[in-house]
């Protein structure tokens, strides 16, 4: 079966970042995302931040996440994506 070229944008990467960290992606998509991370500093920062959060949560300590933190993060990611799509990095 021929290899297919998988194309991703930042929004696609953000949707799959957890699967990327858990190594639960098809090899072609994983390779495409790895290439995207090499080219996109913003997505690399999101990857690093997500990895850090996973490590913090996985260490067994419990801490309170501030109210609304998830929504603020989601809003910031959407705003950043909209700015990138408008060419305003």
Q: Name which of 36-40, 47-51, 81-85 the model is least confident about.
A: 81-85
| Res 56: pLDDT | 77
Q: How far apart are CA 88 and CA 80, in angstroms?
A: 9
Q: How far apart are CA 38 and CA 36, in angstroms?
A: 5
Task: Report helix angle 69-85 to 41-58, nearest 10.
Answer: 160
Write down the pTM of the prediction.
0.61
The stretch 59-84 carries a mean pLDDT of 81
Per-residue buried b or exposed e for 42-75, using 16+ beta carbons within 10 Å of the residue's own CB? bbeebbeeeeeeeeeeeeeeeeeeeeeeeeeeee
Q: Where are the domains of the chain?
A: 10-64
Side-chain half-sphere exposure of 60, counting CA atoms within 13 A: 0
**Residue 2 binned pLDDT confidence (cut-offs 50, 70, 90):** very low
């Amino acid at each position: 079966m021929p290899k297919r070229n998988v194309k991703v944008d930042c929004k696609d990467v953000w949707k799959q970042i957890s699967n990327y960290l858990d190594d639960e992606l098809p090899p072609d998509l994983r390779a495409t995302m790895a290439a995207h991370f090499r080219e996109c500093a913003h997505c690399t920062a999101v990857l690093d931040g997500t990895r850090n959060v996973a490590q913090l949560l996985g260490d067994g300590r419990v801490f309170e996440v501030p109210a609304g933190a998830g929504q603020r993060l989601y809003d910031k990611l959407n705003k950043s994506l909209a700015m990138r799509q408008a060419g305003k990095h």
